Structure 1
Amino acid sequence: MILIDQARWWYRERRWCHLVSDRDLEELHTFAAANGIPERGFQGDHYDVPEEYRGALIAAGAVEVTSVELVRRLRAAGLRLTPAERRRRSAAIGHPPSG
C-alpha cells in the first residue's frame, strides 16, 4: 500500500511530505513514476514530495497516515533505513543528499 503523511517539513520555502510503500520499493517507484514524481525525490526508503503534489497523490490512491504511522509501517515492512543508510543508497544511485 502507498502511504503519505502530512506536509510538515519546511525546506527551501516549501512544505514537504513523505511517500512510502509498506510492501516494497518496486511498488513505490512504480506509483511515483506514474504520478510524475521525479526520481531525484527518492531518499533511500521514501520520496520527499512537495505539498502541492499531495492532493493528486491521494486522489491516485495514496493513503493518508500520520508521520508516526508511516514510520511504523515502513519499519514493519523491513524497509526503513537509518539516515546513514539512506545517504549511502541515495549516493549509490547518483542523488544528492537531502538537506
Structure 2
Amino acid sequence: MSKSETEEMIEIEIDGQEKQECLEEGVEEQTITSADLIQQDIDINEPIGNLKKLLEPRIQMSLDGYEICLQDIQVLMEACIYGVKIPDQT
C-alpha cells in the first residue's frame, strides 16, 4: 500500500478472492486472483524490513514508497525489537 494513498484495508478473505478497501469517497470492491498475489517465505526471527529486500528483485521495482502491513496492522519500527512487534501488555 502506497504511503501517498489515503486508504484503509478493511477486509481480506482467507482464500484471497476478494478485497474491500475503504476510501474517503466510499467503499470500493476489487476482485483479485492468484495471479495478483506474490508469496514470500521469511523466517519469523528475521526483521520484517528484509521482506522488501526479498521482494524487490522478484518484482523488479522499488518498494520504498510502500508500507508493510501484517494482518491489517501497520508495523511501527519504533515499537519493535529487532524488527519484531512488541505485544501490548495492557
TM-score normalised by L of structure 2: 0.27
Which structure has more strand as a fraction of its residues? 2
Higher relative contact order (CA 8 A, sep 6+): 1
Q: In terms of Rg, which structure is larger?
A: 2
TM-score normalised by L of structure 1: 0.26
Which structure has more helix as a fraction of its residues? 1
